[in-house]
Structure formats: C-alpha cells, structure tokens
C-alpha cells in the first residue's frame, strides 16, 4: 500500500495528472484501490448525501462488456481495473438517516431530515438523478487526484453508452453514470497540460 507518507500533495498530484490511455498489466492491489476510494469518498456533497457509488471492474469478461459500451476506447482493455462511478440519488435520499450526524440532538436530526425530504419532495426522478450527477463529479475530481497522489494513473471517460454499462453491471435503471475511470500504472507520458490562463476563466470583482 502506498502510505500517506509517500503521497503527493494535492498541487503536485494536479500538476502531474494527465489522462493516460496505455497501462501495464500489473493489477492494482485491493488495498490501494480501497485507499483511493476512501479518499474520493471524503468529497463533500449537498446535504452530505454522498450519492456516489463505485463498481470496480477487473474481470476480463466485464471489462470486455465495458470496452464495447465505451466505443472500444483502448484504455478500458489496457487498464488492469476500470472504476464505474455511478450515482444513486434515490438510494441516497431513502437512506438519509445514515448521513445525518448521529451526535446531533434528536430535534436537529429531525430538522435536517425534514429539510432533505422537503428539498426532494417535488423533484422528478430525472431531477434527482441530475442532482446526483453533479455530486458524482466532485467525487470524480477527488478520485483522479487521489489516484495520482498514490502513484497511479487514470483516464476519466464520458464516451460510453450508459445503458449498456448499467446493463452489464446489472445496476438499477434509475442510476446515472458520471464517468468510467481506467486506472493502473501508466506506460505512456500523456499530453502536457494545455489550459486556459487563469485570467481567462477567473475574475476578481
Ligand atoms: C468527465 C470527463 C470525460 C472524459 N471523457 C473522455 C473519453 O471518453 N475519452 C477520452 O479519451 N478522454 C476523455 N476525457 C479526458 C479529457 O479529454 C482530458 O481530461 C482533457 O483533454 C485534458 O487532458 P488531461 O486529462 O491529460 O489533463 C474525459 C475527461 C473528463 C473529465
């Protein structure tokens, strides 16, 4: 396991991270995957509802199904693991008691639960899942940085057929799939960052 003592800082991980589409076959140890996911799940979310879910795909059979669903993008077959990041807002809202802090006084817990219920009461299933999507991308950002920080490379993907992915993993039809993430030890450099200058995207007013 890569310990925190050897981990890169957030700034260093962001600077070094690039989308990597070619990997060595070396599997990612379960403990490292768990550590990366543990860090990703420290991401914040509205109401602390944490609607993100992760399916870690390592079997050749399931990877083949994901590869077909992802237009045969080479990183899917090349990486030793592919993380399917999906969101299930229905489940997150139904289990809201799990995420309201247990140490709060009963009255404040009840108020927090009531405000969650009120927020979602008149939302369509589509709106709930769109909301979950937004939270999922926060976890995606954390995940990409956590992986790099712990010495692994990644490739986030949106180029896939979500229905084919949910079918392959036998997920409920209402979940959303913000991204697939190929992960492993990269064997290519990737493309140097080419970003907008800060002044193009940020304005101090
Ligand atoms: C949400 C998301 C979806 C992406 N989808 C794909 C994809 O389907 N295929 C791909 O090759 N790259 C995909 N990328 C990678 C981007 O092209 C890449 O992040 C961008 O060009 C910047 O390059 P860098 O990641 O190397 O810094 C995706 C990135 C993000 C964040």
Instruction: Give the pLDDT mean for 166-187.
Output: 97
Sheet order of strands, 52-57 included: 52-57, 81-87, 176-184, 153-157
Q: Is the pLDDT of residue 50 over 60?
A: yes
Q: Cα angle vertex 136, ends 106, 203, to 5°?
A: 100
Does the pTM surpass 0.85? The reply is yes
Could you read off the pLDDT of 90-122 as tens digits, one per residue? 999 999 999 999 999 999 999 999 999 999 998
Q: Is the pLDDT of residue 16 over 60?
A: yes
pLDDT for 125 = 84
DSSP-derived pairing of the beta strands 176-184 and 153-157: antiparallel
Helix/strand/coil (H/E/C) assignment for every residue in the chain: CCCHHHCCCHHHHHHHCCECCCECCCCCCHHHHHHHHHHHCCCCCHHHCCCEEEEEECCHHHHHHHHHHCCCCHHHHHCCEEEEEEECHHHHHHCHHHCCCCCCCHHHHHHHHHHHHHHHHCCCHHHHHHHHHHHHHHHHHHHHHHHHHCCCEEEEECCCCHHHHHHHCCCCCCCEEEEEEEEECECCCCCCCCCCCHHHHCCCC
Decide: 42 and 12 in contact? Cβ < 8 Å: no
Least confidently predicted of 58-72, 114-128, 159-173? 114-128
Task: Give the number of residues written for the chain.
Answer: 205
pLDDT band at 64 (very low <50, low <70, confident <90, very high): very high
- Residue minimizing CA distance to atom 9 of ligand 1: 157
115 C-alpha to ligand 1 centroid (Å): 36
Q: Is the pLDDT of residue 63 over 70?
A: yes
Residue 190 Cβ contacting ligand 1 at under 6 Å:
yes
pLDDT band at 126 (very low <50, low <70, confident <90, very high): confident
pLDDT for 76 = 98
Nearest to 37 by CA among 142, 131, 137: 142
Q: What is the mean pLDDT of the chain?
A: 96
Instruction: Give the pLDDT mean for 23-38.
Output: 97
85 C-alpha to ligand 1 centroid (Å): 15
Q: Is the pLDDT of residue 58 over 60?
A: yes
Q: What is the CA radius of gyration of the chain?
A: 18
pLDDT for 1 = 53
155 C-alpha to ligand 1 centroid (Å): 7
Maximum separation of any 2 CA atoms in the chain, in Å: 55
Residue 73 Cβ contacting ligand 1 at under 6 Å:
yes
Q: Which atom from ligand 1 is nearest to the alpha carbon of 20? A: 26
The residue whose CB lies within 8 Å of the most ligand 1 atoms, and thus the one to mutate among 18, 157, 161, 181, is 157
Q: Is the pLDDT of residue 3 over 90?
A: no
């Amino acid at each position: 396991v890569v310990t925190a003592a050897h981990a890169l800082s957030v700034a260093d991980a962001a600077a070094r991270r690039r989308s990597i589409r070619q990997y060595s076959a070396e599997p990612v140890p379960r403990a490292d995957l768990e550590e990366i996911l543990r860090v990703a799940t420290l991401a914040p979310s509205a109401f602390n509802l944490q609607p993100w879910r992760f399916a870690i795909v390592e079997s050749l059979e399931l990877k083949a199904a994901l590869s077909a669903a992802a237009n045969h993008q080479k990183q899917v077959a090349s990486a030793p693991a592919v993380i399917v990041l999906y969101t299930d807002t229905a489940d997150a809202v139904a289990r809201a008691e799990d995420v309201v802090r247990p140490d709060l006084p009963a009255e404040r817990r009840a108020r927090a639960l009531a405000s969650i219920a009120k927020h979602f009461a008149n939302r369509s299933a589509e709106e709930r899942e769109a909301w979950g999507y937004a939270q999922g991308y926060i976890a995606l950002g954390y995940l990409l940085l956590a992986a790099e920080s712990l010495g692994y490379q990644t490739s986030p993907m949106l180029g896939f057929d979500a229905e084919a992915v949910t079918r392959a993993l036998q997920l409920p039809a209402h979940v959303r799939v913000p991204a697939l993430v190929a992960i492993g030890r990269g064997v290519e450099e990737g493309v140097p960052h080419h970003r907008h200058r800060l002044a193009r995207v940020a304005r101090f007013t």
